[in-house]
């Protein structure tokens, strides 16, 4: 061999070896490091392998690998009360000086006095009044700003962290893992979609157009010659329970092949996903870890998991025990 | 040089040259070959250059390069009547044997007898009745099938082509060009979104989840133990005129930086787009080519373009003349 060729061959081989080593390292690195090596993790990985192998009987084209995730209790903390309720209560207190009538009017009086029993006694009607008082009667941009401002400085009392850091690290890894395998990931939540959109892209890698939630009706108006969207004091759509398949159809228009929830409010989304043809993955996050997060299910007023748990067990859906299946809960741990 | 090395060098150089030639050809190949080299095309290309140059003052991150397109009259033919109306009329005729009462009841009688004046006389109420009769009272899957079946065999009388081939080739190229420059392309149409979703991915490369339109209310139900979405005889949302910014906000949650329409029904979408900060592109397709397609604007009952044309001229939005700016209209020409 001539010298030049030998040098060239050496460079080539070094390069190939380097490439090979890098590839091997990539293959060996675990995309779900916060998951224990239990059945839940293995079943998820096996499902992804099945649907992504081209030529395989169970292959699903990338554009059909729609994955929908509930938010409260599935991607972030919902205990002891939904974060959006904490936000609304803070807003009621901030807005109280402009609403002296709230001093004597439930459910506002209860919120201002910290009397949660009085608030609870007003039922759904009370919750609706609080929601509309704190998130309607302003432009969409104004509401978005109030959410962004609040989430950047509010902190959960137990963990002393901003709420958008109280997200589940194993689920964040799962979202990224599914996307790296061609899935399009969506949030399908009972919460107000405008309460989520300002921060989901940074927290989960999910852009606003892939956030489906409940809505307040909005109206296009001209204000000082500038177009604005006014949030009217009227609920548009409740994206919960049987509303979730409706929301999925309206906003996505394709049936998911993977669906993730944690409560009875997710049951119909999982049923709708399960009823499609071909391979399907349905998963429930079960809150079983009082030490690291919370433990609740059948009797909880927030994130009640009862019927959906029975159906998951009966139908062999994956039930993740946060205590047993997750190495860590939050990114900051 | 030893022989082996010479062979290797030859292969390497051939490959490099081939690669270089291919790249050069790609750079030189026009992404908008069906557009004449007029101001419209140049302005579009200049805008794309501005927003995609990293480090430039006008740079827009890819995730914010949202582009929204009206469908009827902007991406496909809407004359002499909206294609969805042709579909509904065909369905009325097919369903008539099961609805003997239609023989004497307007607007159905008019449709069955081809008496368009009688249909028109029933106004918006009549159109609503026809819409609900032909697209509600069935599951979403059933409706989708009726659309797919119809569009695969119906043909436009003038051009003798299926309706999903009566799409504008320059706009198809523009969609692909914008996507290749990082944009996410959406349809935002007054038409029923379920009437578009079965065919937009193949025709335009726009997947169902990026099709925003008017809706019929749906309801989640169990039928023989299987979940279905029933289409109720009730309009959910009208995605037209001032409804377009509302629909954009609900389904996309981000303000477009590019918006494309052709009629007064698109005016608010363009105004909403224009009112954002940073670089913006607003464009109207003006139907000026009676020979190759149709010519209509201020006085047309379908796709009326009057106020939006005035505003486009006043504000310097791009107005595309189909006759002057487009080399060809349809892909099959």
3-state DSSP call for residue A90? helix
Q: Provide mean pLDDT across the span A290-308.
A: 96
Residue A287 Cα, gap to closest chain B Cα (Å): 27
Of B208, B229, B272, the CB nearest to A227: B272
CA distance B212 to B298: 26
The DSSP H or E segment spanning B260 is strand B258-261
Q: Which residue of B has its CA nearest to A184?
A: B209
Res B11: pLDDT: 45
Q: Does B218 touch chain A (CB under 8 A)?
A: yes
Mutation site for B-interface testing, chosen from A253, A255, A274 by largest number of B Cβ within 10 Å: A253
* Chain A residues whose beta carbon lies within 8 Å of the beta carbon of residue B276: none
| Band of pLDDT at residue A6, cut at 50, 70 and 90 | low
Q: Provide mean pLDDT across the span A170-191.
A: 98
Q: Is pLDDT of A190 > 60?
A: yes
Residue A327 Cα, gap to closest chain B Cα (Å): 33
Res B6: pLDDT: 53
Q: What is the DSSP letter of A151?
A: H
Q: Is pLDDT of A22 > 80?
A: no
Q: Which residue of A has its CA nearest to B267?
A: A227
* Chain A residues whose beta carbon lies within 8 Å of the beta carbon of residue B209: 66, 184, 186, 210, 251-254
Residue A225 Cα, gap to closest chain B Cα (Å): 10
Res A124: pLDDT: 80
Q: Does A209 touch chain B (CB under 8 A)?
A: yes
Residue B63 and residue A207: Cβ atoms within 8 Å? Answer: yes
8 A C-beta contact, residue B215 and residue B243: no
Of A2, A193, A250, the CB nearest to B253: A193
Q: Provide mean pLDDT across the span B25-52.
A: 90
Q: Does A243 touch chain B (CB under 8 A)?
A: yes
Q: Is pLDDT of A123 > 80?
A: yes
**With b meaning 16 or more CB within 10 Å and e meaning fewer, what string describes A6-39?**
eebeeeeeeeeeeeeeeeeeeeeeeebebbeeee
| pTM of the predicted structure, to 2 decimals | 0.90
Runs of H (alpha helix) within chain B? 3-28, 39-52, 83-95, 108-113, 116-121, 123-135, 140-153, 169-180, 193-204, 243-251, 267-274, 307-315, 322-325
Q: What percent of chain A has pLDDT over 90?
A: 86
CA distance B327 to B329: 7
Name the more confident of A288 and B54. Answer: A288
Name the more confident of A88 and A21. Answer: A88
8 A C-beta contact, residue A214 and residue A237: yes
Measured in whole angstroms, the distance separating CA A293 from the mean position of its chain's CA atoms is: 17
| Strand positions, DSSP E, A204-278 | 211-223, 226-237, 258-261
If we measure between CA atoms, which residue out of B254, B261, B301 comes closest to residue B63? B254
Q: Is pLDDT of B9 > 50?
A: no
8 A C-beta contact, residue A69 and residue A191: no
B241's torsion region: left (phi>0), alpha (psi -120 to 50) or beta?
left
Q: Which residue of B has its CA nearest to A231?
A: B246
Q: What is the DSSP letter of B326?
A: B
Q: Does B256 touch chain A (CB under 8 A)?
A: no
Q: Is pLDDT of B324 > 80?
A: yes
CA distance B208 to A250: 10
Q: Is pLDDT of A21 > 90?
A: no
Q: Is pLDDT of A3 > 70?
A: no
Q: Is pLDDT of A10 > 80?
A: no
pLDDT tens, residue by residue, B218-252: 999 999 999 999 999 999 999 999 999 999 999 99
Q: Does B215 touch chain A (CB under 8 A)?
A: yes
8 A C-beta contact, residue A193 and residue A212: yes
3-state DSSP call for residue A242? coil
3-state DSSP call for residue A155? strand
DSSP states along B56-77: STT---GGG-EEEE--BTTTB-
Residue B209 and residue A252: Cβ atoms within 8 Å? Answer: yes
CA distance B191 to B265: 11
Of A208, A245, A268, the CB nearest to B253: A208
Q: Does B161 touch chain A (CB under 8 A)?
A: no
Residue B250 and residue A236: Cβ atoms within 8 Å? Answer: yes
Q: Provide mean pLDDT across the span A191-207.
A: 97
Q: Distances from the Cα of A105 to the Cαs of A117, A120, A129, B120, B319, in angstroms?
A: 14, 14, 11, 52, 56
Residue B97 Cα, gap to closest chain A Cα (Å): 31
Q: Is pLDDT of B295 > 50?
A: yes
Instruction: Dig out the tokens for B216 from the structure.
Output: 């019929």
| Strand positions, DSSP E, chain A | 66-69, 138-139, 184-192, 211-223, 226-237, 258-261, 281-286, 318-321
Instruction: Dig out the tokens for A147 from the structure.
Output: 């959410």
Residue A275 Cα, gap to closest chain B Cα (Å): 7
Please state, as a whole number, how many other Cβ atoms lie within 10 Å of the Cβ of residue B250: 24
* Chain A residues whose beta carbon lies within 8 Å of the beta carbon of residue B201: 63
Q: Is pLDDT of B24 > 90?
A: no
Q: What percent of chain B has pLDDT over 90?
A: 86
Q: Distances from the Cα of B251 to the Cαs of A105, B236, B256, in angstroms?
A: 36, 14, 12
8 A C-beta contact, residue A240 and residue A265: yes
| Band of pLDDT at residue B260, cut at 50, 70 and 90 | very high
3-state SS string for B195-243: HHHHHHHHHHCCCHHHEEEEEEEEEEEEECCEEEEEEEEEEEECCCCCH
Q: Is pLDDT of B71 > 60?
A: yes
The DSSP H or E segment spanning A120 is helix A116-121
Q: Which residue of B has its CA nearest to A250?
A: B215
CA distance A198 to B254: 10
Q: Residues 23 to 62 of B: which have CB under 8 A from any A CB? A: none
């Amino acid at each position: 061999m001539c010298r030049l060729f030998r040098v060239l061959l050496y460079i080539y081989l070094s390069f190939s070896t380097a490439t090979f080593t890098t590839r091997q390292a990539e293959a060996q690195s675990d995309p779900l490091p916060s998951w224990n090596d239990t059945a839940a993790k293995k079943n998820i990985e096996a499902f992804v392998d099945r649907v992504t192998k081209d030529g395989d009987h169970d292959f699903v084209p990338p554009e059909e690998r729609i994955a929908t995730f509930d938010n409260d209790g599935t991607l972030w903390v919902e205990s002891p009360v939904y974060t959006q309720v904490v936000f609304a209560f803070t807003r009621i207190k901030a807005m109280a000086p402009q609403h002296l009538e709230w001093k004597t009017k439930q459910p506002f009086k209860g919120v201002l006095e910290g009397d949660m029993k009085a608030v609870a006694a007003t039922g759904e009607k009370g919750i609706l009044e609080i929601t509309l008082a704190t998130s309607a009667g302003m432009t969409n941009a104004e509401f978005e700003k109030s959410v962004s401002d609040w989430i950047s400085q509010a902190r959960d009392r137990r963990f002393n962290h901003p709420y958008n850091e109280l997200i589940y690290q194993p689920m964040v890894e799962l979202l990224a893992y599914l996307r790296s395998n061609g899935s399009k990931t969506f949030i399908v939540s009972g919460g107000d979609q405008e309460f989520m959109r300002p921060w989901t892209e940074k927290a989960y890698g999910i852009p606003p157009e892939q956030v489906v939630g409940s809505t307040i009706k909005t109206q296009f108006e001209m204000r000082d010659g500038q177009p604005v969207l006014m949030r009217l004091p009227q609920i548009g759509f409740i994206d919960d329970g049987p509303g979730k398949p409706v929301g999925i159809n309206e906003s996505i228009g394709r049936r998911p092949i993977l669906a993730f929830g944690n409560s009875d409010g997710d049951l119909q989304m999982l049923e709708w996903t399960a009823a499609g043809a071909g391979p399907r993955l349905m998963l429930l996050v079960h809150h079983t870890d009082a030490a690291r997060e919370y433990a609740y299910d059948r009797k909880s007023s927030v994130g009640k998991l009862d019927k959906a748990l029975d159906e998951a067990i009966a139908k062999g859906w994956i039930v993740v025990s946060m205590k047993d299946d997750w190495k860590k809960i939050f990114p900051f741990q």
